[in-house]
Amino acid sequence: MKLYRTGAIAGLIAGSTALAVLLTACSSSKSDSSTDAAANTAAASGLPITCASGTLKGDGSSAQKNAVQEWTADFKSKCSGITINYQGSGSGAGINGFQSKQLDWAGSDAAIKGDDVTKANANCASGGTAINIPMVVGPISMAYNVSGVDKLTLTPKLLGEIFTGKITSWDNADIKAANSGVSLPSTPIKVITRSDSSGTSFNFSSYLSQVDPADFTEAPAKQWPVKIGAGAKGSAGVAGAVKASDGSIGYVELSAAQDAGVKMAAIDSGDGAVEISSDAASKFMTAGATVTGTAPDLTLKLDYTQHGAGVYPIVLVTYEIVCTKYNDSNIGAMVKAFFSYTSGAGQGSLNDLGYAPLPSDLVTKVQSSVSAIS
């Protein structure tokens, strides 16, 4: 079925230092535009939170690291006895850590499926299973650094050709055609990709494989599938590499691009150039996302060929990978308390971080899945 209006932006923190902060609650940062009602609804309809005591170990998506930092800080007053250690080492590292029983939950920008679920089930108690719960949604920016170019528009075709090395300089005729009136230099294009296993890479390569299959012929992958340019570890690493190198372009979540202060290209899918924003990503989710998982698993399918006026089409979803039943019931209680908060009151703080709150109808499904945790 169709997903609804979501518009979150997966964020992160510059740097990959582990945060060990006490969980904390009642986030109330302001949000703007059409996300206000969803934030208020999510906050008002939160699950009851039953606190436990102990330490939760998480790792994975660097895209959501800013969100986890904000959530843990806000939740301290609600459940002061719970400490969270979350390292945004990348989706692949989080999945591996969860499967090897080193983590209590993992964040991933791509849902686990098949053998990965089977391996993850080893971390769960008998009768339990590993599930994907979407918690944040947001656009992937095309961060760029071209001296003298403060505004840039790219098309899906141009992105496919740039990220496969078929276009190699910024004064290419097709780039010029998409940027009338912009003086583009002959600077060589330097492509920056993720060097680590990354859900962001999976989502962006999925986008390119759908919108420009003639040029981008590789299968989507967490490890960037095309040998091109230079690699950088983590979202902050890509943003930093782009900022440091004239002529560069890289794919990175909006929050990381904002943190680094890099410029971001608008995307023209045939309906006019669209700047990256929470609301523009929300419009994509309305048209392009469907739930394909069987509850309590809430895996989504993203149809990147969907476009329209005001739609920003390059979007990822960050999932929390958890067990429905843990071997240690205290761990299960802490995981349930944390995500009861993040799916309710925690949504209200996200807009100022470059996210948007989940809509009330998706929150209902997410909270139903969280309720299944024990």
Q: Amino acid identity of 303?
A: D
Q: What is the pLDDT of residue 131?
A: 99
| DSSP H/E element including 210 | helix 199-211
Identify the CA nearest to 299 among candidates 366, 200, 207, 223: 366
pLDDT digits (tens, 9 = 90+) for 279-319: 888 788 778 888 899 999 999 999 999 999 999 999 998 99
Q: What is the pLDDT of residue 283?
A: 82
Instruction: Decide if pLDDT at 43 tops 80.
Output: no
In terms of residues, how long is the chain? 374
Structure tokens at 296: 């309590």
pLDDT digits (tens, 9 = 90+) for 350-362: 777 877 677 677 7
What structural domains and CATH numbers belong to the chain?
Answer: 19-137+288-297+317-371 (3.40.190.10), 140-282 (3.40.190.10)
Pairing of strands 82-87, 54-60: parallel
Among the residue ranges 90-99, 131-140, 191-200, 238-247, the one predicted with the least confidence is: 131-140
Give strand ranges (E) for 23-160: 54-60, 82-87, 105-108, 130-145, 153-154
Q: Identify the band that residue 278 occupies on the pLDDT scale cut at 50, 70 and 90.
A: confident
pLDDT (mean) for 255-268: 96
| Distance in angstroms (rounded) separating the CA atoms of residues 54 and 85 | 11
| Distance in angstroms (rounded) separating the CA atoms of residues 117 and 135 | 19
Instruction: Decide if pLDDT at 11 tops 60.
Output: no
Q: What is the pLDDT of residue 314?
A: 96
Identify the CA nearest to 135 among candidates 200, 35, 194, 63: 63
| Distance in angstroms (rounded) separating the CA atoms of residues 75 and 344 | 12
Instruction: Decide if pLDDT at 13 tops 60.
Output: no
Average pLDDT, the chain: 87
Rama region for 70: left / alpha / beta (φ>0; ψ in -120 to 50; rest): alpha
pLDDT digits (tens, 9 = 90+) for 333-348: 999 999 999 999 988 8
pLDDT digits (tens, 9 = 90+) for 51-87: 999 999 999 999 899 899 999 999 888 999 999 999 9
pLDDT (mean) for 135-157: 95
Q: What is the pLDDT of residue 299?
A: 95
| Distance in angstroms (rounded) separating the CA atoms of residues 26 and 347 | 10
Pairing of strands 266-268, 273-274: antiparallel
Q: What is the pLDDT of residue 359?
A: 67
Instruction: Decide if pLDDT at 17 tops 80.
Output: no
pLDDT digits (tens, 9 = 90+) for 157-196: 999 999 999 999 999 999 999 999 999 999 999 999 999 9
